[in-house]
Chains A and B, each alone.
Chain A
Amino acid sequence: EVQLVESGGGVERPGGSLRLSCVGSGFTFDDYGMNWLRQAPGKGPEWLAGISWNGGKIRYADSVKGRFTISRDNSKNSLSLQLNDLRAEDTAFYYCAGERGYTDYSWFASWGQGTLVTVSS
């Protein structure tokens, strides 16, 4: 069974940093692209960043470019997201998701349970 487990969420002040992690199991982790998405309370999901199977291709949404950094360690079946210069509008549940399909035609086939990030002074 495919399983993705996120961790690292919490409460942080504006301008602060957090590092989120996601560990995958039940599938061949380094066969697939991985992504981070978030969902603010009462809103729809928002795609944030994606990384190819070997880390060779990385892309970001404009809303987080320059502040968030995605990375992966296939030896540990893990995905990370470094969040810097946090803002109140970054408050949301953060999900890692496994990608299937082909580049811009891809979909998010499996999702973790999410980790909550709250940015508040």
Chain B
Amino acid sequence: QSVLTQPPSVSGAPGQWVTISCTGNTSNIGAGYDVHWYQQLPGTAPKLLIYTNTRRPSGVPDRVSGSKSGTSASLAIAGLQVEDEADYYCQSYDSRLSAFVFGSGTKVTVL
């Protein structure tokens, strides 16, 4: 059971906008720890997509954005494209576990 909860799947048509939620508690996201997001294409390693809640590494398009509020965070993908089909994971730190923790993962399907 993952410490951070994500919906198992989300889907949208090309060009649409989808969001993925990441829900934690007062020992991780709610304690003020940053949230980071990773994209994992089939058969490959995870790749950093968003860091420190809202920042994009170079090369990540600005149609991808992140936000954080209270004990939750969200990843938004606008203008959905076929190449966005992947698994997405959120990550933070948990002070009760003294460990970096990941979400359960969300599979994005482009219809």
Write the residues of chain A forming the contact surface with B, with a CB cutoff of 8 angstroms.
Answer: 35, 39, 43-47, 50, 59, 61-62, 95, 100-101, 104-114
In this complex, what residue of A is CB-closest to B94? A104
Give every chain A residue within 8 A of B69 (Cβ-Cβ). Answer: none
In this complex, what residue of B is CB-closest to A93? B45
Q: Give which listed residue, B52, B89, B98, B99, contacts A101 with CB less than 8 A.
A: B52
Known: A101-B51, A107-B48, A108-B91. A44 touches B103 (CB 8 A): yes
Write the residues of chain B forming the contact surface with A, with a CB cutoff of 8 angstroms.
Answer: 2, 33-34, 36, 38, 44-48, 51-52, 57, 89, 91, 93, 95, 97-105
Give every chain A residue within 8 A of B36 (Cβ-Cβ). Answer: 107-108
In this complex, what residue of B is CB-closest to A114? B45
Give every chain B residue within 8 A of A39 (Cβ-Cβ). Answer: 46
Q: Give which listed residue, A44, A61, A104, A111, contacts B2 with CB less than 8 A.
A: A44
Give every chain B residue within 8 A of A111 (Cβ-Cβ). Answer: 45-47
A-B contact count (CB 8 A): 62
Counting chain B CB atoms within 10 Å of each CB, the highest count among A95, A106, A110, A114 belongs to A106
Give every chain B residue within 8 A of A108 (Cβ-Cβ). Answer: 36, 38, 46, 48, 91
A104–B27 Cα gap in the complex (Å)?
Answer: 12
In this complex, what residue of B is CB-closest to A39? B46
Known: A44-B103, A47-B101, A61-B99. A105 touches B34 (CB 8 A): yes
A-B residue pairs in contact (CB < 8 Å), sample of 10 = A39-B46, A59-B98, A62-B99, A95-B45, A107-B34, A107-B51, A108-B46, A108-B91, A109-B51, A111-B46
